[in-house]
């Protein structure tokens, strides 16, 4: 017998369920309540949500206690901070060592050599070399990136580069920059067992950043979403064992 039209089986099943007596239908699985989601925190370390006084906290920070039901803030105040791009979690990518994901990210904004248009632009000063930024972590790397973005603005450019290839830095759709960040983040997790351990320990919690992200930021900026996809891959036993191939 030839197969029926697409979706016919689902339609027949829905009709069959509709005519069943109420007590014969399969029970609906209720969505967890807020109370249940909050109670589920007992399966995780309590200090992940421990309240931190707002007085004295930096303006950019989202505090651990601000997590909603089923969420956890990837706070730099405890071990979840290892998941942050700022963390000193060295990894090797495409044959070069980087001190942190943040160093890798901001390094791409710097000239690749004396022939790079960014290095030859009149009147520009670069506070660091590309290699120096690659070995930075945390706020030092972030500040280096801020200086680079100021130079990019003066030049009127919106591109970064890696291995001699330019790409849009803030594309409307995910592009090469996003692929590079995802691949580097996978390597960070793969090469740092403690990072992998902490990421898997978050179970099915929704990971939320510990800082206010700009509205409409490109996908590469959404590191918690990238980490969530890596976590799901690891949980399925699909961890990466070889450097990814980029196109």
Over residues 198-206, mean pLDDT: 97
Is residue 42 in some structural domain? no
The encoded tokens of residue 31 equal 């969505």
Task: Say if 62 falls within a structural domain.
Answer: no
**165-168 and 159-162: which strand pairing?**
antiparallel
Residue 38's pLDDT is 63
Question: Could you tell me if residue 44 is inside a domain?
Answer: no
**Percent of the chain surpassing pLDDT 70:** 80
Q: What is the mean pLDDT of residues 143-169?
A: 98
Residue 169 lies in a domain: yes
Host H or E run for residue 13: helix 8-19
- When pLDDT is cut at 50, 70 and 90, the band that residue 74 belongs to is very high
Percent of the chain clearing pLDDT 90 (strictly above): 76
**Domain carrying residue 124:** 82-235
Q: What is the model's pTM?
A: 0.81
Burial of 33 (0-12, 13-18, 19+ CB in 10 A): exposed
pLDDT of residue 25: 52
Structural domain contains residue 15: no
* Phi (first) and psi of residue 211, to 5 degrees: -145, 160
Is 184 a member of any domain?
yes
Are 91 and 72 in contact, with CB atoms under 8 Å apart?
no
Question: Could you please report the per-residue DSSP string of 162-177?
Answer: ETTEEEESS-SS--HH
Q: Is 67 helix (H, G, I), strand (E, B) or coil?
A: coil
From the list 37, 157, 138, the residue with the least C-alpha distance to 87 is 138
Residue 244 has pLDDT above 60, yes or no: no
pLDDT in tens, 163-201: 999 999 999 999 999 999 999 999 999 999 999 999 999
pLDDT at 51: 96
> Phi, psi at residue 65, to the nearest 5°?
-70, -5
pLDDT at 43: 84
pLDDT of 10:
46
Q: What is the mean pLDDT of residues 51-74?
A: 96
Q: Could you tell me the pLDDT band of residue 245, with boundaries at 50, 70 and 90? A: very low
Q: If you count them, how many residues does the chain have? A: 247
Task: Assign residue 96 the CATH number of its domain.
Answer: 1.10.357
Report yes or no on 115 lying in a domain: yes
How many domains in the chain? 1
The predicted pLDDT at position 214 comes to 85
Of 21-30, 78-87, 94-103, the one with minimum mean pLDDT is 21-30
Any domain includes 243 = no
pLDDT for 8 equals 40
Task: Dump pLDDT digits (tens) for 8-42.
Answer: 444 434 434 444 454 555 556 666 676 566 656 77
Alpha carbons 101 and 156: distance in angstroms, whole number: 26
């Amino acid at each position: 017998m030839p197969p029926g039209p697409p979706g016919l089986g689902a339609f027949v099943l829905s009709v069959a369920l509709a005519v069943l007596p109420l007590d014969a239908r399969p029970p609906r699985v209720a969505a967890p309540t807020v109370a249940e989601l909050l109670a589920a925190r007992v399966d995780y370390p309590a200090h992940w949500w421990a309240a931190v006084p707002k007085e004295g906290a930096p303006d950019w920070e989202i505090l651990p206690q601000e997590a909603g039901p089923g969420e956890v803030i990837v706070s730099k105040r405890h071990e979840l901070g290892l998941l942050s791009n700022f963390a000193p979690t060295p990894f090797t990518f495409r044959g070069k060592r980087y001190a942190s994901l943040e160093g890798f990210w901001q390094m791409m904004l710097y000239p690749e050599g004396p022939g790079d248009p960014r290095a030859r632009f009149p009147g520009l000063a670069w506070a660091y070399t590309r290699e120096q930024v690659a070995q930075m972590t945390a706020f030092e790397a972030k500040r280096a990136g801020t200086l680079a973005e100021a130079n990019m603005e003066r030049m009127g450019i919106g591109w970064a580069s890696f291995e001699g290839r330019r790409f849009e830095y803030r594309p409307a759709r995910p592009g090469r920059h996003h692929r590079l960040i995802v691949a580097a983040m996978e390597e960070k997790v793969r090469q740092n067992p403690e990072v992998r351990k902490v990421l898997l320990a978050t179970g099915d919690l929704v990971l939320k950043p510990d800082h206010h992200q700009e509205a409409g930021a490109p996908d590469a900026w959404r590191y918690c979403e990238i980490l969530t996809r890596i976590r799901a891959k690891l949980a399925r036993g699909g961890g990466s064992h070889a450097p990814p191939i980029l196109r």
